[in-house]
């Protein structure tokens, strides 16, 4: 997409600090890092949402994420990490080209867990909900 900032990075029109690259994915350092080594992994092809991607494209992403994590581990040796994505604006997505975030983690870094994203006030009956599946 011509006006997409991440497509411009893939096209080489905007510079990036590459962590890992293959035919399907590009991983680069986030310019406004939330953690040391905060890395963004994108499909080279433009998709806004996870739901726009095929099973095979997900598999290509999984391989790219695996390789990127290995590189981040090798270079920065974090004690742990969080991996996640914001899919659609309701979930906090700002750049409309789907991307995974890696947050390398260290003891005492002040960060929370994935669970700190949301804690619903709604009373949810898990047994009832499970019947839908
Ligand atoms: P999200 O809120 O999930 O859409 O995250 C978008 C992320 O992209 C943010 O963490 C930004 O700091 C990051 N970002 C935006 N522009 C660039 C850029 N040119 N190079 C690297 N990271 C970027
Ligand atoms: Zn794009």
Decide: 72 in ligand 1 pocket, CB within 6 A.
no
Task: Give ion ligand 2 contacts, CB < 5 A.
Answer: 1, 4, 6-7, 46, 97
Q: What is the pTM of this model?
A: 0.96
Q: For residue 100, give both structure tokens.
A: 């995974």
User: Domain extents for the chain?
Assistant: 5-131
Q: What is the pLDDT of residues 9-45, one digit of tens each?
A: 999 999 999 999 999 999 999 999 999 999 999 999 9
**pLDDT at residue 1, as a whole number:** 77
Run of H or E including 46 = none
CA of 61 to the centre of ligand 1 (A): 18
Which CATH architecture fits 5-131? Answer: 2-Layer Sandwich (3.30)
Residue with tokens 């006030």: 121
The residue whose CB lies within 8 Å of the most ligand 1 atoms, and thus the one to mutate among 91, 94, 98, 100, is 94
CA of 18 to the centre of ligand 2 (A): 17
Q: What is the pLDDT of residues 89-103, one digit of tens each?
A: 999 999 999 999 999
Ligand closest to Cα of 95 equals 1
99 catalytically annotated: yes
Question: What DSSP line would sit under 79-126, residue for residue?
Answer: SEEEEEE--SGGGT--SSS--EEEEEE-TTS----GGGS----S---H
């Amino acid at each position: 997409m011509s006006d997409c900032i991440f497509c411009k990075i893939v096209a080489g029109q905007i510079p990036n600090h590459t962590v890992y690259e293959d035919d399907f994915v590009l991983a680069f350092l986030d310019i406004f890092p939330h953690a040391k080594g905060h890395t963004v992994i994108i499909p080279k092809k433009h998709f806004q949402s996870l739901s726009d991607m095929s099973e095979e494209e997900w598999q290509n992403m999984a391989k790219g994420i695996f390789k990127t994590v290995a590189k981040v581990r090798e270079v920065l040796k974090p004690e742990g990490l969080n991996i996640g994505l914001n899919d659609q604006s309701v979930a906090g997505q700002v750049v409309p080209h789907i991307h995974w975030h890696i947050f390398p983690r260290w003891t005492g870094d002040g960060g929370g867990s994935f669970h700190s994203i949301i804690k619903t006030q709604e009373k949810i009956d898990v047994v009832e909900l499970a019947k839908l599946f």
